[in-house]
Amino acid sequence: MLGGSYGGYMATMLAGCHGNKFKAICSERAVNNMLSEEWSSDIGTVFRVEHGPNHLEDEEEYKRMSPIRHVRDINVPFLIIHSEDDLRCPISQAEELFVAMRLLGKDVTFYRFPGETHELSRSGSPVHRVQRAEIILDFFAKHLAV
């Protein structure tokens, strides 16, 4: 499975909640920790509009909505791709997930793209777009080979 942005959020959430249904998962430019996303994203206040109270007023709700809380249950090969200049989902979101997975001894690979934003897959530099595609293809070729 592969997802980016909200799809990346869902890919990470599914990896932790239903990972046994997948052989490998790639999450790109995803929100992984709603607590830190709310104050670090360029659209963090949108969460308040959609969910009501902010993370200081209802920390438990933000934890409940965070894929990172399921990190212990991720047991499939996992690829994280993120752009260093992403303001929508700051790279710290990827770093938090990567560090947590490494600390738990999970099979995780992390690629970061300098000078790119949330739009890497659509309007990033041609060189980085090709590199991204090759990374994804190689990852799934390795883990989905029969």
Query: Which run of H or of E encompasses 112?
Result: strand 108-113
Going across the sheet that includes 25-28, the strands are 2-4, 25-28, 78-83, 108-113
Residue 100 lies in a domain: yes
Residues 68/98, Cβ–Cβ less than 8 Å: no
Is residue 118 pLDDT above 80, yes or no?
yes
Residue 43 lies in a domain: no
CA pair distance 34, 66, nearest whole angstrom? 5
Return the CATH number at 12: 3.40.50.1820
Residue 55 lies in a domain: no
Q: For residue 91, what are the domain limits?
A: 2-32+70-144
Name the one residue in this structure whose structure tokens are 């206040």: 45
Q: What is the pLDDT of residues 129-143, one digit of tens each?
A: 999 999 999 999 999
**Structure tokens belonging to residue 83:** 């752009």
Model confidence, pTM: 0.88
Residue 60 lies in a domain: no
pLDDT at position 34 is: 76
CA geometry: angle 80, 85, 89, nearest 5 deg? 55
Residue 82 lies in a domain: yes
Instruction: Give the bridge partners for 27, in sequence order.
Output: 3, 80
For 83, the 3-state DSSP assignment is: strand
**Mean pLDDT of all residues in the chain?**
88
Residue 95 lies in a domain: yes
Residue 93 lies in a domain: yes
Q: Which residues are catalytic?
A: 5, 118
pLDDT at position 74 is: 97
Residue 18 lies in a domain: yes
Domain count across the chain: 1
